[in-house]
Structure 1
C-alpha cells in the first residue's frame, strides 16, 4: 500500500507526524507537499495528490489542512476520489466500511497527534464491507459520469 500525503500550511505539522507514523508502520508514502508552514492554497496540493491516486501512483491518501474541511472539498472535486473528513475513530472506521473512502482528511488545528494517529490506524486497517454499500458507491460513480 502506498499513501499520497498532501497538506497546506495549517496541516504541515500534523502531516509530518503522520509521515513518521507511517514509517513506523512500514507503509510507503508520496509527499505531495506542502513542505513548510509558509502560507499556501490547499486546492493546489489536494489536486496533485488526488490525481496521483486516480493515476495509480498511490493507493489511498491522507490530506490535511487547518480544519480538514477545505482540503476535503477540493479533493472530492476529482473524479474517482471519495474523501472523508474524520474527527474521531468511529467516523474513520465507517468511512471505510460503508463509503470505501480512498482519502482520509484531517484537521491539523483540530486534532491532537495521538488521536490523529489512532484515526489513521483504524482507517488503514478497516476493510470495505461491500454488499449494499457497493451499490451506493456505484451510484456515486454514476453521478460523476453525469457531470462530465
Structure 2
C-alpha cells in the first residue's frame, strides 16, 4: 500500500513520527508530503489538496493528515471530489472510518492526541478495509453521489 502523510506547522511533528512508525513496522511505501517544493508557509487547505489529489490521481492508496486539531485538514480534504476524510481521535473511530466510511484519508490533531495513541489509530485504520458489499455500501455510495452531484453543479455554475 502507498501512503501519503502530511502535516502543517502544528502537525508536521506528529506526521513525521507516524511516517517513521510506519516505515519501521510495515511494508508500506510511506511518503511525507508535509512541505511544498518551494518550502513557503502554506495553508492546511493546500496540504490537504496535495495529499487528496495524489490519492484521486492514483499515486497513493491512502493518506494521513495532521494539523493542530485535525479539523482543518479534514474539512479541506473533504472539499476534493471523491475524497472521504475522517477525523479520528481513537482506535474505534479509525476502525469505523475504514469499515463504515471507506475513508481514504484520516486526520488527527497534534494538540489533541499523543504520539502513542496516534500510532495505534493509524495501525487500527490500516488493519481494516471497506467491504463494498457490506452494510455500509449504500451510505458510501450516497456520499459519492453527493460528491458527484455538487462537483458537477459547481462546475456548471462557476465563472471559469
Band of TM-score, shorter chain? over 0.9
The structure 1 segments of at least 4 consecutive aligned residues displaced by more than 6 Å after TM superposition are none
Q: Write the distance in 1 (CA, Å) between the matches of 2:109 and 2:129.
A: 23
User: Who wins on radius of gyration, i.e. which is larger?
Assistant: 2
Aligned to 1:13: 13
Q: 5 Å matches for 1:67-78? A: 67-78=69-80
Query: So what's the TM-score if we normalise by structure 1?
Result: 0.93
Q: Is the 1:84–1:105 contact (alpha carbons within 8 Å) kept by the matching residues of 2?
A: yes
Structure 1 residue runs of 5 or longer lacking an equivalent are none
Q: Is the 1:9–1:34 contact (alpha carbons within 8 Å) kept by the matching residues of 2?
A: no
Q: Is the 1:6–1:49 contact (alpha carbons within 8 Å) kept by the matching residues of 2?
A: yes
Aligned to 1:146: 149
Query: So what's the TM-score if we normalise by structure 2?
Result: 0.87
Structure 2 residue runs of 5 or longer lacking an equivalent are 153-160
> Pairwise CA RMSD of aligned residues?
1.4
Q: Is the 1:3–1:29 contact (alpha carbons within 8 Å) kept by the matching residues of 2?
A: yes
Alignment: residue pair count: 146
Aligned to 1:32: 33
Q: Is the 2:8–2:67 contact (alpha carbons within 8 Å) kept by the matching residues of 1?
A: yes
Among 101, 109, 133, the alignment partner of 1:99 is 101
Q: Is the 1:2–1:60 contact (alpha carbons within 8 Å) kept by the matching residues of 2?
A: yes
